[in-house]
Amino acid sequence: MNKALPKIKETSEELREMLKNEPQSKRQNRLQALYLIAAKQAKSRGKIAEILGKNRNTISDWMSLYEAGGVEKLLEIYKPSGANPKIGKTVIEEIKAGLGSEKGFRTYKEIHQMVVKKHQIDIRHYWK
């Protein structure tokens, strides 16, 4: 059996305005899903998925987020932090100082060699 769509607290006009002012397409898609419900253009997750070209499970996930925390929660887009940088701030500052001096570095290879030899940081670069 299909789960009922959540009751949308915002009006279709409010959602339309939010859509106009939202620069991120991922967030626009989520707002559009709410707009379709508020404007009574879609009566099921499947219809929203069809209109937006998304998977029905994705729409269900969005609706669960909305039910849990409203628009604010729905618009939180997970962004992984990524790997920690291998080269720390002190090494970066040393490279910048070298680039700013007359002796400086002439090539990227010289910078690479300094980082590997002086700071024992294993960074790979393939020279052609």
pLDDT at 127: 54
Residue with tokens 């789960």: 3
For the chain (length 128 residues), average pLDDT per consecutive 10? 88 96 96 97 96 97 96 93 87 92 88 90 70
Long-range Cβ contact pairs of 41-45 (< 8 A, separation 24 or more): 43/5, 44/2, 44/5, 45/2, 45/3, 45/5
pLDDT at 10: 96
First to last CA, the chain: 61
Residue (of 21, 25, 10, 19) closest to 71 by Cα position? 10
pLDDT at 102: 87
Q: Are 75 and 27 in contact (CB under 8 A)?
A: yes
Domain regions of the chain by residue span: 12-74, 81-128
The DSSP symbol for 85 reads P
CA gyration radius, the chain: 25
Give the predicted TM-score (pTM) of the model. Answer: 0.65
User: Would residue 29 be called left, alpha or beta, if left means φ above 0 and alpha means ψ between -120 and 50 degrees?
Assistant: alpha
